[in-house]
Structure 1
Amino acid sequence: MSKAIQVPQAPQFPLPFSHAVQAGDFIYVSGQVGVDPITQAIAGPTIEEQTRQCLRNVEIILASVGLTLDHVIKSNAFVSRTEDFTDYNKTYSEVFQQPYPARTTAPVDLGAYLVEIDVIAYAPSKRV
């Protein structure tokens, strides 16, 4: 059985999706962009600013079910500009702790957003 998770403190969009879905011990967090949840404004013009905000938004959603980024076992990132990959990787490695989650990163056109990140978290334990 699965359960949809909506988090009032996370960014709100008029789109048909749940912030996350819990299926057994796994939490699947929908793609988050670098939007401030209070102002709905893009966090800044750089990949670093938007990546940090994306991951803060993921943290807000995970915290609503008692988890942290340390529970993330897989992340998928979509980056608008390939020239931003180096700065994206630097920021990602500053936010996530080793051992890092399994990961996919792909270039894709996101319009005004520079990055979108979704994750899978495993509730019973943290990465070791």
Structure 2
Amino acid sequence: MRKIVSSDKAPKAIGPYSQGVKAGGFVFFSGQIPLDPVTGELMGTSAAEQASQVMQNIAAVLEAAGLGFNDVVKTTIFLTDLADFAVVNEIYGGCFSSEPPARSTVQVSALPRGAKIEIEVIAVERS
């Protein structure tokens, strides 16, 4: 059985996908880019500004599922420039306790709306 997760505190999907889906004890969240939840506009020009907005968006969809960053078990970070790796790590790392989740980071040639960063998240439901 699956259940859709949605929050008006995070940007609406810009394509045919859900913000998140609960299935089999996990919650799979679609990638978040740095869109303002109200206007749908891209926020920030630097990787740091964009990473901060992405993490705020992730916090909102986690909250809608009744979860928090400590429930995240795996993330994937997509960057258009790996030179932004260190600054993104600083912002990303500040959202997790001393035991962050598993993670992959890859450089991609482009992201929707010209974003510099996208992060997707998998979390485990609380029992």
Q: Same fold (TM over 0.5)?
A: yes
Distance across 2 between alignment mates of 1:84 and 1:66: 31
| Paired amino acid for 2:89 | N
| Paired amino acid for 1:122 | V
Does 2:124 correspond to 1:122? yes
TM (norm. structure 2) is 0.91
Distance across 2 between alignment mates of 1:101 and 1:17: 24
Native 8 Å contact 1:52 1:95 kept in 2: no
Q: Secondary structure, in 3 states, of the residue corresponding to 1:95?
A: coil
Partner of 1:46: 46
Q: CA deviation at 1:94?
A: 1.7
Partner of 1:18: 18
Range moving further from structure 2, 82-91 or 112-121: 82-91
Does 2:69 correspond to 1:69? yes
Identity %: 35
Native 8 Å contact 2:6 2:20 kept in 1: yes
Q: CA deviation at 1:4?
A: 1.8
Does 2:47 correspond to 1:60? no
Partner of 1:86: 86
Give the gaps of 5 or more residues in structure 2.
Answer: none
Q: Secondary structure, in 3 states, of the residue corresponding to 1:53?
A: helix
Distance across 2 between alignment mates of 1:104 and 1:26: 18
Native 8 Å contact 2:67 2:126 kept in 1: no
Distance across 1 between alignment mates of 2:76 and 2:84: 16
Range moving further from structure 2, 57-66 or 89-98: 89-98
TM (norm. structure 1) is 0.90
Give the gaps of 5 or more residues in structure 1.
Answer: none
Range moving further from structure 2, 42-51 or 3-12: 3-12
Distance across 1 between alignment mates of 2:75 and 2:63: 17
